[in-house]
Structure 1
Amino acid sequence: MPAGMGDDQEDVRSLHPMGAFLEDAGVNASARSPRPPPSSSHPWLGALALALVLALSGCSAFSRAVKEGDAASQEQKWAEAEAAYLRALAADPEASEVKVKLGKVRQAWSEVVLEGARAVHASGDLDGAMKRLVRALELNADNVSARELLGATLDARVAAGNVALKAERLQDARTEFDAVLSVAPDHAAAKRGVDGVQVAWARRWFGTGEGLEKAGKLGNALVAYVRADQERVGATAARERAEAVRQKLRDEVAFLVVASPVEDRAGAPDVAQRLAAGRLAARLPTQLPLRVVTEAPAGREGVTLDLSLERVLPLQVVEESQRTQRYLAGNRSVPNPRRSGFETQLLKAERTLEDVERKQAAALREYLRMQAELSMVRVAAERCRERERRQCREALQDCGEAAREVSGPGQFPSECNPSRCDNKACVAEEVLLVAKAAASLQKEKALEEALDKSEGQRTQVQRHRDATFREPITVEEPMYSDFVFDVQLHRLTVTASVTAVMRDLIKEQQVPAPNTQDYAVMHEDTAHKGYDRYGVLADPVQLRNELELRVEVGDKAVSDVARRVKERFDAYRGKRVEDARRGMVRPGAEDVVETAVRALLLTADAPPQDILQPLGRARGLNRPESLVGL
């Protein structure tokens, strides 16, 4: 066994008294013994040993990390010492002694880094010194020397940035100021330096734009002015110059529409006035370089537009037609539908009453028949009883006579036999009488039920009869009719025939192609008399004035002419856009920028993104839409 292992075990036993207790209890002895202990003895030893192993493993990792940290700290290996102490804190986050050691290691490490920063600062490497000082403060935020030296370093970098700014090394100056602000975002001198750099960039781009403008490269000049305004708004007159250059470029690439005076062949000056050049210009989109002029210089793109008003035909027609109006003509008597329902119910109740009375009559007949049979059976029973009484009296009389003739006592004559008065000859008649009496009672009850039901049904019939008689036989309902009346449809139509001839300014056309279109504006209204009796109100004619329709037809014609001019302009700018797209393989070249800027101005209503975005990235524009004034 290595010597260190024995020391570790001694330390563990000293740290954990439970180990000594277990050793005294025989756990270690049993571990050294080759014979396992019986399973029946000490059943808690297994669980206790497992807990001991877990505790020893945790404590051994903690103590090992602490020892490694102490060793690395003595050897001034600060990174290894910090990592070891952090592992120890991961095993036991509440170890205050380890926290103290970790703080001391970081303080010592911060001093070492500070010494290196001082050496680097003395050599003139401000960037390296600043990084080391930031690291020293990360290790020990209370390192006053590092904080003071960091402040001096930041001031030195600001001074270096100001020197670079004065020397027109703007990129170096911005790098210095940004580095200072990355460490101290509230550094006032660095912020002023950034503002100075932005102003210098704006002036430089403005000067570049002026040079390009003087050289005739208006597209590049516009990009430079926009970039100058982007760098620092208001530092230069870049925005005003950009608008002036943009206007020059628009005038340069403008599609000219040379509109000659309208030839009025119809003798309608009010309509011809709506076709004038000013009205046409108002119908064209203002954000596009589309100009309506009376004269055009040579070599410019555009068309000449000759308009002639051939005729203006107002036409008013009246069409006769008829309409119907439904009105109340009077009332009429119709069978009462409610009475019909009541009569149906009454008829049903009467038929039910007939059935009930028929059943009542049958029950009465049965009852009378049963009473007659009961009377006959009762008479027969009475006769039988009378016969029995007579026979019994005769037997008693014979017995008395025989008893008088008996000579001696103790003799019983045969005539005195009791069976002569108890022969039960009327039993059948008595039974039949009882049965008939019971049947008669049943028939009587059935008759009473039939009588009650009949009486109730008669009451129901009387109620239905009363309800039916209270309801009238007929009722009044409204009677409608249709009134036909005459209607006049007045229609006013103004038709204008306009001939337009468009010729390209550059291309020579042998034969012009006139295009004559008819434009019609219509308004119609209905009129009819009033018929108060039938609820029809008078509707007079309310047609629009013919002058209004003449103005409207002129506007309709000039709108159509403007649409055709816009189609010619779309064809023209489509070619320029295709030329600009072909040059997007090198969007930063001056000739490509000139072509692209002109194409963007021609498509100011919807700039193509495949031209706008590459140009903006190539020239560092945050908002390339500013090129077209958006």
Structure 2
Amino acid sequence: MWGVSPPRPLRPTSLGSRRALGALALASLLVLTACSAFSRAVKEGDTASQQQKWAEAEAAYLRALAADPEASEVTVKLREVRRAWSQVVLEEARGVHDAGDLDGAMKRLVRALELDADNVAARELLTVTLDERVAKGHVALKEDRLQDARAEFDAVLSVSPEHAGAKKGVDATQVAWARRWFGTGDGLEKAGKLGNALVAYVRADQERVGATAARERAEAVRQKLRDEVAFLVVATPVEDHAGAPDVAQRLTAGRLAAMLPTQLPLRVVTEAPAGREGVKLDLSLERVLPLKVVEDQQKTQRYLAGKTSVPNPRRAGFETKLLHAERTLEEVERKQAAVLREYLRLQGELTTLREGAERCRDRERRECLEALQECGEAARDAEKPGQVPGECNPSRCASGLCAKEEQLFAQKVIAVKEREKLLEVALDKSEGQRTEVQRNRDTVFREPVTVEEPMYSEFVYDVQLHRLTVTASVTAVMRDLLKEQVPAPLTEDYATVHEDMAHKGYDRYGVLADPVQLRNELELRVEVGDKAVADMARRVKERFDTYRGKRVEDARRGMVRPGAEDVVETAVRALLLTADAPPADVLQPLGQARGLTRPEALLGL
């Protein structure tokens, strides 16, 4: 007779086995999900391909390849879809091409080749279309429609950067633009609009360097404009009242011109035409006074006189650290003793509570034994079998009389453990502090009590200070050429000083002989003249800054319409006056309005 075996009990698996099973289940779920997504994408791609919905088919096959990149059959299907789509786009391109829309045909042909790089028909038609666009650009170039021609050539180069015909067309277009701008500049120059003419010449040179004589003409026009807006400084001959021709010749017009910045239209002349901006500078050399002074002084020379023993400052610092460490150790040991006393007190209380709990448990055990004995006797004397006498009440053995003692004992155990941890921390801290004290003691004992230091002394010796001063007094009168009033003369003193010390030599103390070495008086006279002319150049530059500041403000007010001819005239002149630091809020808008790639070329930079 066959019997049914009882089921085997399941063995508890380990934590590692459960994790492995969980990972395997998750991997299986991911594989099933990926397979489901892959199959669904392939199915959608096949359906869209049959319906000739090429974009949807391509997107579906790409999703399938994302789920399974190794699916070669999907790669083949995707290639076939793109090849069929390329043929459709090619047919559209042929229709657009036959309608005369070369731009639309070129875009579609590029798309067809992106879908299928082996589409020979599309490549041939694209070559024909590019050649036709180049021919169209040359026709526009002959008809002087330069923007249309450049647009055609750029479109061809965007597709085929190495197209020779398009490159030649771009070069021809640039030459045509350069000639057009050169002709514009020539007309503006003849009309007297030099600022606009300069902009046109610079634009022609930037379109095609060397195609015209625009750079040379721009330099000539720039020079005319600089002469027109130049700030003139009329320097009259210097009046030498001091009888010092060597100083007076440093104040001449040539020296003044050399001190002024050359990139700015600042002209130093001896005569100026009427109605020009500038100043007239009258200089007179009143006096030149050389003065030589000798002063007796004393100097000191520090030298090494010997060595002396002094208390070691490092040892004092180490002793201070040792004392602080010892005081800290005393404080740590005091806290440790307090924690130890508290721990011992709690240990005594814990012992008392343990003994009380044990006595209570013994008493409760005896009472329970007595209750069991009485219960047995009462059960034997029972009149009816199966009757439970009242003496057999279970509560007599579970009275809970010792619960309070046991609770107090458990609380005291927790308190003792906490104090024990505090005591361990205090012991560790005390031990660490003792180690620190011992290290400081070792450091103090290794450091010497005294050290030797060098002892210095000072040797006092006499010196003579020789000072040569050349002072030149110059009177200047600077008046505006457009105003009749004459300002008051201003006299300034310019001084050049050179001094040197001389003394005897004392080899014993390291003081070597130092004879006097003063500069020549003629050199100082030349230097004081240069200092005076530099100050005059600074004053002229300040007047020039005021003059060009007004021109720049006029140009800034016109930047609301930077392409207007009158605004360009004002702006170009203001820029030439600020060639050292052209204002960007004038230069950049002007360059953008006139199509300049490098607006700073207006200044010849």
Q: TM-score range by the shorter chain?
A: 0.5 to 0.7
1:620 aligns with 2:595: yes
**Quick check: which has more Rg, 1 or 2?**
1
- 1:306 corresponds in structure 2 to 282
Which among 148, 153, 159 is matched to residue 135 of structure 2? 159
Looking at structure 2, the residues matched to 191 and 308 of structure 1 have their Cα atoms a distance apart, in angstroms, of 68
| Partners of 1:314 and 1:191 in 2: CA distance | 75
1:200-239: per-residue Cα shift (whole Å, max 9, x none)? Answer: 1111111111111111111111111111111112222222
Equivalence map 1:353-502=2 (5 Å): 485=462, 487-502=463-478
1:313-352 → structure 2 map (5 Å cutoff): 313-322=289-298
SS of the residue 2:479 aligns to: strand
Count of matched residue pairs: 442
Is the CA contact (8 Å cut-off) linking 2:285 and 2:474 kept in structure 1? yes
Q: Given the alignment, which residue of 103, 106, 120 partners 2:82?
A: 106
Of residues 571, 574, 579, the one that matches 2:549 is 574
| CA distance 1:254–1:52, shift in 2 (3 Å) | closer
What residue is the counterpart of 1:204 in the other structure?
180
Name the SS for the 1:316 alignment partner: strand
Give the Cα–Cα distance (whole angstroms) in 2 for the partners of residues 614 and 206 of structure 1.
Answer: 22
**Offset at 1:533?**
8.6
Which residue of the partner structure matches residue 276 of structure 1? Answer: 252
Report if the CA contact (8 A) 1:288-1:601 is conserved: yes
Out of 598, 601, 613, the residue aligned to residue 573 of structure 2 is 598
Structure 2, unaligned runs of 5 or more: 1-9, 11-20, 310-454
Q: TM-score, normalised by structure 2?
A: 0.67
Please state how far the C-alpha of 1:493 moved relative to its aligned partner: 1.5
Could you say if the C-alpha distance between residues 324 and 119 of structure 1 is closer, same or farther in structure 2, counting changes exceeding 3 Å?
A: closer
With over 3 angstroms needed to count, the CA separation of the structure-2 counterparts of 1:51 and 1:596, relative to structure 1, is: closer
What's 2:527 paired with?
552
Q: Distance in 2 between matches of 1:240 and 1:547?
A: 47
2:500: which partner in 1? 525
**What's the secondary structure of 1:320's corresponding residue?**
strand
Which shifted more, 528-537 or 596-605? Answer: 528-537
Q: Deviations over 1:10-68 (max 9, x none)?
A: xxxxxxxxxxxxxxxxxxxxxxxxxxxxxx9xxxxx99999998777655544443343
Mapped contact 1:288–1:604 kept (Cα < 8 A)? yes
1-structure distance, mates of 2:530, 2:102: 74
Look up the equivalent residue of 1:118 and give its one-letter code. Answer: R
Cα contact 2:298–2:460 (8 A) shared by 1: no
Counterpart in the other structure of 2:92: 116
Task: State the TM-score, normalizing by the size of structure 1.
Answer: 0.65
Check if 1:88 corresponds to 2:64.
Answer: yes
Greater shift, 497-506 or 518-527, is seen at: 518-527
Contact 1:114 1:133 survives alignment (8 Å): yes
Residue in 1 that maps onto 2:416:
none
1:52–1:561 CA distance, 2 compared to 1 (3 A) = closer
Q: Is 2:459–2:509's contact at 8 Å kept on the other side of the alignment?
A: no
Letter in 1 for 2:524: L
Query: CA offsets, 1:141-194, max 9 Å, x none?
Result: 111011001011111111111111121111111111111111111111111111
SS at match of 2:76: helix
Task: Please report how far the alpha carbon of residue 92 of structure 1 lies from its aligned counterpart in structure 2 after TM superposition.
Answer: 3.4
Q: Which residue of 2 aligns with 1:194?
A: 170
One-letter amino acid of the structure 2 residue matched with residue 576 of structure 1: R
**SS where residue 130 of structure 1 aligns?**
helix
The aligned amino acid for 1:551 is V
CA distance in 2, matches of 1:61, 1:184: 41
Which one of 468, 477, 483 corresponds to residue 507 of structure 1? 483
The letter for the 1-side match of 2:269 is V
**SS across alignment from 1:611:** helix
The one of 539, 561, 568 equivalent to 1:586 is 561
- Cα 1:578–1:63, aligned 2, differ >3 Å: closer, same or farther? same
Q: Structure 2 vs 1, CA of residues 187 and 546 (structure 1 numbering), >3 Å: closer, same or farther? A: same
From 186, 199, 218, give the equivalent of 1:223: 199
Distance verdict in 2 for CA 1:64–1:303, change over 3 Å: same
